[in-house]
A = this chain, B = another copy of it.
């Protein structure tokens, strides 16, 4: 093992050395002023640093920054639709302990292209958060971007002190948001299209529903049983036992509505096809989701598919009267999960066919690499199988199901109940209980909570009518 570490260090050192040199060359070239904290002054974001820098290197200072005057430009409220491969990132949302998030890359791009001045003033909302390793085909954000439309329009605010003649002049087309951003974003994050949005339209609060997909190979799973089990998720249920409760952040009620849940093959196959290498999708559409909810739902389906549990388990876990506490079980792994769609009304997506085609080509190249590798592996698997090898057929998408002595979920130790968690935070002042009318009780964020000014006040007792499903900030998977 240490040998491998030593080797890795050597590789890193070499790589590190090369990167240092490359970085030195570029900064000496003077073309790239990104080492300063000011946004680039280069209007044309396509310019490549000139590597023939003999004249540049000799004492050329970095050009003095001319701050960009955002107040001179119109701004408009827009929705942007993103697709990203989450496998190389630590999640969508910006985090304290790492720079490696999709949002971080997104805001770098928005700043570099000077479409926003800074995050704080950009009126940014996101439809959902995806976790580390989770991808998205339709992540939607709303934000205010720089615009060319001095003539005004939907969601557009024009600067006050602009010359009337400029306002009345025929305005050209809008800033090519999609093209500009895709040029500076990393290849695994892409803007698919954009839409004008009315002022106040929010990706977070105006999202009508969200659809997730979870891809998995059949292996030795009973996919018919899984499909039947999945149907049980449809409807409105309390999902506290099928998520990671986030009471500390004010998520206090766990009823959610699932509009549809299905398990289907990716390609319509022969009904009689039973190949272990066929791939299926668990697709689920809901109004809003709790933290890790989809992966917990998938974990149960995988246990059911392996015949380690019955489909009735689902109904039992959603029966929080009988089962108020969640048994300990692992959720399904992250990489097969995709936020496939976020549905809105009132948006008109403006697609640039050229851009879409470009993204399509990139995806196809990536797919080619991935698929060829799969087939190389498959060829070897076939060869070993022919040689008499027997696979364990264990499902590797959920931890714990490979153990020799499988322990049924309902016999396992349980996690803390919701009540217990609430008490925990009440003690710390982050939640506060209040006597309500009729002897009922409400709980809301306390003064010590960082969101105490906007605390939803929710009844704790389940006999109370369920309030409108909050669009949980840390809700998504």
Among B10, B22, B34, B391, point to the contact of A364 (Cβ < 8 A).
B391
Most B CB atoms within 10 A — which of A2, A340, A376? A376
In whole angstroms, what is the CA distance A35 to B1 when docked?
11
Task: Return the CB mask of A81-121 against B: 1 if under 8 Å, else 0.
Answer: 00101010000000000011000000010000000000000
| Contact B384 A397, beta carbon cutoff 8 Å | no
Given the known interface contacts A2-B34, A370-B370, A390-B353, the answer about A363 and B377 at a Cβ–Cβ threshold of 8 Å is yes
Does A205 belong to the interface (CB within 8 Å)?
A: no
| Contact A391 B361, beta carbon cutoff 8 Å | yes
By beta carbon, the residue of chain B nearest A7 is B99
Does A217 belong to the interface (CB within 8 Å)?
A: yes
Among B35, B365, B380, point to the contact of A137 (Cβ < 8 A).
B380
Does A175 belong to the interface (CB within 8 Å)?
A: no
Chain B binder among A11-19, A251-259, A316-324, A441-449: A11-19
A102: min CB distance to chain B, Å: 13
| Contact B379 A216, beta carbon cutoff 8 Å | no
| Contact B396 A335, beta carbon cutoff 8 Å | no
In whole angstroms, what is the CA distance A385 to B11 when docked?
41
In whole angstroms, what is the CA distance A383 to B26 when docked?
39
By beta carbon, the residue of chain B nearest A32 is B2
Restricting to A346-384, which residues have a CB under 8 Å from any CB of B?
351, 353, 356-357, 359-361, 363-381, 383-384
In whole angstroms, what is the CA distance A22 to B2 when docked?
9
How many copies of the chain does the oligomer comprise?
2
Task: Return the CB mask of A32-73 against B: 1 if under 8 Å, else 0.
Answer: 101100000000000001000000000000000000000000
| Contact B369 A381, beta carbon cutoff 8 Å | no
Among B356, B374, B379, B388, point to the contact of A370 (Cβ < 8 A).
B374
Task: Return the CB mask of A128-141 against B: 1 if under 8 Å, else 0.
Answer: 00000001010000
Does A177 belong to the interface (CB within 8 Å)?
A: no
Given the known interface contacts A1-B32, A32-B1, A356-B389, the answer about A377 and B366 at a Cβ–Cβ threshold of 8 Å is yes
Does A215 belong to the interface (CB within 8 Å)?
A: yes
By beta carbon, the residue of chain B nearest A4 is B186
Restricting to A215-237, which residues have a CB under 8 Å from any CB of B?
215-217, 219
Given the known interface contacts A2-B32, A338-B379, A364-B381, the answer about A373 and B370 at a Cβ–Cβ threshold of 8 Å is yes
| Contact B35 A23, beta carbon cutoff 8 Å | no
| Contact B1 A371, beta carbon cutoff 8 Å | no
By beta carbon, the residue of chain B nearest A135 is B376
| Contact B279 A375, beta carbon cutoff 8 Å | yes
Does A394 belong to the interface (CB within 8 Å)?
A: yes
Does A468 belong to the interface (CB within 8 Å)?
A: no
A366: min CB distance to chain B, Å: 6
| Contact A216 B372, beta carbon cutoff 8 Å | yes
Residues of B within 8 A of A365 (CB): 396
By beta carbon, the residue of chain B nearest A193 is B387
| Contact B11 A19, beta carbon cutoff 8 Å | no
A194: min CB distance to chain B, Å: 14
Does A192 belong to the interface (CB within 8 Å)?
A: yes
| Contact B340 A379, beta carbon cutoff 8 Å | yes
| Contact B83 A380, beta carbon cutoff 8 Å | yes
Does A6 belong to the interface (CB within 8 Å)?
A: yes
Restricting to A235-272, which residues have a CB under 8 Å from any CB of B?
266
Among B12, B213, B367, point to the contact of A16 (Cβ < 8 A).
B12
A242: min CB distance to chain B, Å: 22
Among B27, B281, B372, B378, point to the contact of A367 (Cβ < 8 A).
B378
Residues of B within 8 A of A361 (CB): 391-392, 394
Most B CB atoms within 10 A — which of A16, A373, A381? A373
A290: min CB distance to chain B, Å: 23
With A16-B16, A213-B379, A360-B381 already in contact, 9 other A-B pairs whose C-beta atoms are closer than 8 Å:
A1-B26, A192-B384, A192-B387, A266-B375, A279-B371, A356-B389, A363-B380, A365-B396, A368-B396
Could you show 19 A-B contacts with beta carbons less than 8 Å apart?
A8-B19, A16-B16, A83-B380, A217-B368, A266-B375, A279-B371, A335-B369, A335-B373, A338-B380, A351-B387, A356-B387, A360-B391, A361-B391, A363-B380, A368-B396, A370-B374, A370-B377, A371-B371, A371-B374
- 10 tightest CB-CB pairs across the interface, nearest first? A356-B389, A360-B389, A367-B377, A370-B374, A336-B372, A371-B374, A215-B375, A360-B391, A365-B396, A360-B384
